[in-house]
């Protein structure tokens, strides 16, 4: 199978903590995607970056319309983290960070990117510059009202938007919804942290249209 570098971009943000890397920094075969395209196709690393960026553009507009804040930082590994980080979806495990010697095909799905919608403590609407990488660590608490609902959207390379919803009063962290696999020890994600297929049909349509636009024949 053809090898290509999979790159998903959280805008232009990249983070490497210890030897940990997000999926996009490694070299693995691209997941085949079929989303109303004429045929199954490989999404190039550049196409995935564009899709992630343009989805975030949509998310900023959505957040502005709904009077919410949004950040592209849907995941950040623990400091000096080891192992592969993944989420559990109805369609199988989705890889978000690669740091172990697992095979690419050990995970049927791979994240291209994602966003987090929430209510900002300072009233920020749309893109929130307050939540970013600080000392190689992300802390949502700096500007996320934990008493209000929040949602993580994860863009699967199968063309589906998955979601983790936190109801009022629940804390959302950069690793919420994910667990790590260290070598052969696969830690199961708690059921309450499982990702669902998002019921946000607009988000599903946006991802589908982006894939249709940038899929390569």
Region for 118 from its dihedrals, namely left if φ exceeds 0, alpha if ψ lies in -120 to 50, beta otherwise: beta
- For the record, the structure tokens of 39 come out as 């045929």
How many Å apart are CA 88 and CA 171, to the nearest integer?
A: 19
pLDDT tier, 185 (very low <50, low <70, confident <90, very high otherwise): low
Stretch (H or E) spanning 16:
strand 16-17
User: For the chain, how big is the Rg over CA atoms in Å?
Assistant: 16
Q: What is the pLDDT of residue 32?
A: 45
Report whether pLDDT(183) > 90.
Answer: no
Task: Residue 133: count other Cβ atoms within 10 Å of its Cβ.
Answer: 15
How many Å apart are CA 20 and CA 84, to the nearest integer?
A: 8
Task: Residue 109: count other Cβ atoms within 10 Å of its Cβ.
Answer: 22
* Listed range (1-15, 126-140, 170-184) with the worst mean pLDDT: 1-15
Q: For a pLDDT cut of 90, what percent of the chain falls above it? A: 43
Task: Residue 123: count other Cβ atoms within 10 Å of its Cβ.
Answer: 10
For the chain, first and last CA: distance in Å? 16
Report whether pLDDT(134) > 80.
Answer: no
């Amino acid at each position: 199978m053809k090898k290509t570098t999979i790159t998903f971009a959280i805008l232009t943000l990249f983070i490497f903590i210890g030897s940990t890397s997000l999926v996009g920094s490694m070299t693995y075969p691209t997941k085949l995607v079929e989303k109303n395209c004429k045929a199954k196709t490989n999404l190039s690393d550049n196409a995935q970056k564009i899709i992630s960026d343009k989805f975030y553009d949509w998310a900023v507009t959505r957040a502005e319309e709904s009077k919410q804040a949004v950040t592209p930082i849907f995941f950040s590994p623990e400091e000096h983290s080891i192992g592969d980080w993944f989420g559990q979806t109805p369609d199988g495990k989705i890889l978000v960070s690669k740091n172990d010697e697992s095979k690419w095909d050990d995970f049927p799905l791979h994240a291209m990117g994602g966003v987090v919608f929430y209510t900002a403590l300072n009233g920020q609407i749309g893109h929130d510059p307050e939540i970013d990488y600080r000392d190689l660590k992300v802390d949502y608490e700096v500007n996320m009202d934990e008493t209000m609902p929040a949602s993580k959207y994860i863009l699967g390379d199968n063309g589906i938007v998955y979601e983790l919803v936190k109801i009022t009063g629940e804390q959302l962290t950069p690793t919420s919804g994910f667990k790590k696999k260290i070598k052969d020890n696969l830690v199961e994600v708690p059921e309450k942290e499982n990702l669902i297929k998002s019921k946000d049909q607009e988000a599903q349509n946006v991802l589908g249209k982006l894939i249709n636009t940038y899929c390569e024949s």
